[in-house]
């Protein structure tokens, strides 16, 4: 059982807590009521704000839209004003550009082209927007005027700055120095760089905007003239300097020119040096044309549109090329006339030219690549003409050697080398300088299947055959000519001299190597012929030495007196020998053997034969008394006979 006091305390405690809870509850109720009031107030405010916001929106949106419209209208106005300014500017283009167009592009090309661009835009505007307006005609006329002045400037720049290339520079450009492993190309600068850039700029504008191709004709005409003048200048340089000083090349650059430019055309009997200069000049002009044409193409490629380059280049080189080909044709014609008057050595002028043309043909063809067929065929046609006339000359020369008439007045009185022989050998020696060209020339006339491919060896055999033919014809003709002499000994000396001259000439040059290609024993054959003629000559002394033989010599015993008949035999032998010796020495002293070696050999050989026979004869007659006047018959001592023979073939004695 709980005590009463404790229960009372507990009750008071509970009542106290209850009272506190009731107070807390009252406080919460009061706060909830205040919160409700505040909420109602906030709702009322928000409702009022929403109402006002809607009113504001209904007022602002129309204003905003109106503002946007105003801004758009403003932008449109600005754009319209800008367009108006732009359009109005087209109406002012003619006036604004008048001064610049009138004064032309000289010295201010960039400004001028910018001015033309404005005019061009004005033309495009009026064509698109107002094609019937008078302003279109005005700007069109101004554009055409501007284009004309650009064309004129193009012509003016090209004309003013295009100069012929100096001959010395050309010669340096075509030179080859064998001592240099790497050749330094000489740059041919045709136009100053600044001028070239202006010309390229104008050409580009005329193609793109001017729709004009006339400037290409202007270009090739001006450059063609300069190319031709450059080559003519080189030709004049040769004529002036070759005759006066012999200096053909730049004194600053000592170089060796390739192929024939260092090698003059062969000298021939009576040939004028002027012809040498003309040939050398022509050869150099051919090389110069190739080098200059290549340089012109490089220049043209910078200025002329690609699809017009080949045609323009073709036109550009025509005049210079035609002049070169015409000069070549004239050389062929001159050779043809020389053949008609039987001056075959004149044809040798063709050989250095033909060799040079053939050596340079591949470079020539490469340079003319892309040109018209008629242009490309010009050099091959000239080469064919030269080969044909050259081959004709060679054949007719061989025939002329065979058919040269045996005229008594034309024969050397002293039996020396005939002019026909020396001329024939000289011709062949000069031909040797161009053996490859001559061989190919002969091959070009071959129609047999074996000649389908002209190898170097084939050509060499052809030339060997030809040389042997000429030598064979010469031998036959000399044999025929020798019969003109009444004295068979002089005939032998004549043939000996000519055969010996031929052999020595062959041996001194490389002709013998060419001859032996087809005639292995040619050298020994000539030696046999020479020996035969020496023996023929020696036989002329038989009529002298036969008096010294034992034939009819009386047989006698020492101390026995000779009969009159026997004495007369000995007298006749002495007289026959003396008269024969004197006659032969008198005649043969005027004969000639130009070759000292042969002359000495024949003298010594003949001296020994006669001297030995004479000494033997004198010994046999030493103890014979056949006359009271022995000095009348024994006119010469053996030493005197030797001296007389020693003076043979000495026209100066």
Q: Residues 489-507: what's their mean pLDDT?
A: 96
Q: Residues 158-184: what's their mean pLDDT?
A: 79
Q: What is the pLDDT of residue 400?
A: 94
Least confident of 393-402, 509-518, 550-559, 588-597: 550-559
Q: What is the pLDDT of residue 241?
A: 79
Residue 69: pLDDT band (50, 70, 90) is: confident
Q: What is the pLDDT of residue 248?
A: 44
What pLDDT digit, counting tens, does each position of 523-575 carry?
999 999 999 999 999 999 999 999 998 777 767 666 667 788 888 888 899 99
Which tokens in the block code for residue 97?
């550009």
Residue 175, phi then psi, degrees to nearest 5: -80, 155
CA distance 363 to 118: 48
Q: Residue 595: pLDDT above 90? A: yes
Q: What is the pLDDT of residue 240?
A: 84
CA distance 319 to 302: 22
CA distance 539 to 171: 64
Q: Residues 242-269: what's their mean pLDDT?
A: 41
Which tokens in the block code for residue 363?
């470079």
CA distance 142 to 94: 7
Residue 391: pLDDT band (50, 70, 90) is: very high
Q: Residue 444: pLDDT above 90? A: no
C-beta neighbour count of 382 within 10 angstroms: 21
Decide: helix, strand or coil at residue 128. helix
Higher pLDDT, 323 or 175: 323
Q: What is the pLDDT of residue 454?
A: 57
What does DSSP say about strands 175-176 and 256-257: parallel, antiparallel, or unpaired?
A: antiparallel
Residue 176: pLDDT band (50, 70, 90) is: low
Residue 136: pLDDT band (50, 70, 90) is: confident
Q: Which of 21-25, 55-59, 156-160, 432-436 has the highest mean pLDDT?
A: 156-160
Least confident of 243-257, 514-528, 611-625: 243-257
Residue 128: pLDDT band (50, 70, 90) is: confident
Q: Residue 243: pLDDT above 80? A: no
Terminal-residue alpha carbon distance, the chain? 203
pLDDT over 90, % of the chain: 53
Going by C-alpha positions, the residue among 91, 128, 98 that lies closest to residue 116 is: 98
Contact 328, 382 (CB under 8 A): yes
Q: What is the pLDDT of residue 104?
A: 81
Q: Residues 458-467: what's their mean pLDDT?
A: 93
Helix (H) or strand (E) run with residue 257 in it? strand 256-257
Which tokens in the block code for residue 3?
């005590």
| Residues across the chain | 653
CA distance 608 to 603: 8
What pLDDT digit, counting tens, does each position of 75-113 carry?
776 675 555 544 555 666 666 677 878 888 888 888 888
Q: What is the pLDDT of residue 139?
A: 76
Residue 272: pLDDT band (50, 70, 90) is: low
Q: Residue 473: pLDDT above 90? A: yes
Q: What is the pLDDT of residue 257?
A: 38
Going by C-alpha positions, the residue among 573, 460, 447, 449 that lies closest to residue 510 is: 460
Compute the mean pLDDT over every residue in the chain, rounded to the nearest whole number.
Answer: 85
Which tokens in the block code for residue 272?
């004028």
Q: What is the pLDDT of residue 447?
A: 64
What pLDDT digit, counting tens, does each position of 306-325 carry?
999 999 999 999 999 999 99
Q: What is the pLDDT of residue 451?
A: 47
Higher pLDDT, 388 or 623: 388
Q: Residues 586-607: what's their mean pLDDT?
A: 93
Going by C-alpha positions, the residue among 484, 343, 471 that lies closest to residue 406 is: 484
Q: Residue 130: pLDDT above 90? A: no
CA distance 136 to 604: 113
Contact 282, 232 (CB under 8 A): no
Q: Residue 256: pLDDT above 50? A: no
CA distance 619 to 163: 95
Q: Residue 495: pLDDT above 80? A: yes
Residue 157: pLDDT band (50, 70, 90) is: very high
CA distance 518 to 463: 10
Pairs from 175-180 (Cβ < 8 Å, separation ≥ 24): 175/249, 175/250, 175/253, 175/255, 175/256, 175/257, 175/258, 176/255, 176/256, 176/257, 176/258, 177/255, 177/256, 178/256
Q: Residue 643: pLDDT above 70? A: yes
Q: What is the pLDDT of residue 260?
A: 35
CA distance 255 to 331: 28
What pTM does this model have? 0.73
């Amino acid at each position: 059982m709980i005590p009463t006091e404790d229960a009372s305390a507990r009750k008071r405690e509970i009542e106290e807590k209850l009272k506190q809870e009731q107070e807390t509850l009252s406080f919460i109720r009061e706060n909830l009521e205040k919160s409700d009031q505040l909420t109602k107030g906030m709702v009322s405010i928000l409702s009022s704000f929403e109402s006002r916001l809607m009113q504001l929106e209904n007022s602002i949106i129309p204003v905003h839209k109106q503002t946007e419209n105003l801004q758009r209208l403003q932008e449109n106005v600005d754009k319209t004003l800008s367009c108006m300014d732009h359009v109005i500017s087209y109406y002012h283009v003619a006036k604004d550009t008048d001064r610049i167009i009138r004064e032309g592009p000289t010295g201010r090309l960039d400004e001028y082209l910018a001015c033309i661009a404005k005019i061009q835009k004005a033309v495009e505007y009026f064509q698109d927007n107002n094609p019937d307006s008078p302003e279109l005609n005005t700007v069109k006329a101004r554009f055409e005027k501007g284009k004309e002045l650009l064309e004129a400037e193009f012509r003016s720049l090209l004309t003013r700055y295009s100069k012929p290339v100096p001959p010395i520079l050309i010669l340096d450009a075509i030179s080859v120095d064998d001592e240099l492993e790497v050749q330094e190309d000489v740059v041919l600068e045709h136009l100053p760089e600044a001028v070239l850039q202006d010309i390229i700029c104008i050409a580009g504008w005329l193609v793109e905007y001017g729709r004009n191709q006339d400037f290409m004709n202007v270009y090739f005409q001006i450059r063609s003239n300069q190319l031709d003048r450059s080559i003519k200048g080189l030709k004049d340089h040769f004529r002036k300097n070759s005759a006066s000083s012999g200096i053909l090349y730049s004194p600053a650059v000592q170089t060796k020119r390739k192929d024939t430019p260092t090698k003059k055309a062969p000298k021939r009997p009576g040939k004028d040096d002027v012809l040498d200069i003309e040939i050398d000049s022509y050869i150099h002009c051919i090389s110069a044309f190739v080098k200059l044409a290549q340089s012109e193409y490089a220049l043209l490629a910078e200025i002329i549109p690609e699809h017009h380059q080949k045609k323009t280049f073709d036109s550009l080189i025509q005049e210079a090329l035609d002049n070169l080909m015409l000069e070549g044709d004239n050389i062929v014609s001159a050779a043809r006339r020389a053949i008609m008057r039987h001056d075959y050595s004149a044809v040798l002028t063709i050989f250095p030219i033909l060799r040079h043309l053939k050596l340079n043909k591949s470079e020539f063809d490469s340079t003319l690549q892309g040109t018209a067929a008629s242009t490309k065929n010009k050099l091959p046609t000239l080469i064919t003409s030269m080969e044909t006339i050259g081959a004709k000359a060679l054949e007719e020369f061989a025939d002329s050697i065979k058919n040269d008439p045996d005229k008594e007045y034309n024969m050397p009185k002293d039996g020396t080398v005939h002019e026909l022989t020396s001329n024939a050998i000289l011709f062949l020696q000069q031909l040797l300088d161009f053996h490859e060209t001559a061989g190919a020339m002969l091959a070009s006339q071959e129609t047999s299947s074996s000649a389908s491919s002209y190898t170097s060896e084939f050509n060499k055999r052809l030339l060997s055959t030809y040389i042997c033919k000429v030598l064979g014809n010469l031998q036959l003709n000399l044999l025929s000519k020798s019969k003109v002499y009444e004295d068979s000994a002089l005939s032998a000396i004549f043939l000996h001299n000519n055969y010996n001259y031929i052999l020595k000439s062959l041996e001194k040059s490389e002709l013998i190597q060419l001859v032996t290609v087809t005639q292995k024993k040619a050298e020994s054959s000539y030696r046999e012929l020479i020996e035969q003629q020496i023996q023929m000559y020696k036989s002329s002394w038989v009529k002298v030495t036969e008096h010294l033989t034992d034939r009819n010599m009386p047989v006698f015993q020492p101390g026995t007196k000779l009969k009159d008949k026997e004495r007369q035999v000995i007298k006749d032998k002495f007289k026959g020998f003396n008269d024969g010796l004197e006659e032969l020495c008198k005649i043969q002293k005027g004969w000639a053997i130009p070759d000292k070696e042969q002359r000495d050999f024949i003298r010594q050989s003949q001296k020994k034969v006669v001297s030995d026979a004479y000494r033997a004869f004198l010994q046999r007659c030493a103890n014979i008394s056949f006359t009271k006047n022995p000095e009348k018959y024994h006119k010469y001592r053996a030493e005197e006979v030797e001296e007389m023979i020693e003076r043979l073939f000495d026209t100066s004695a």
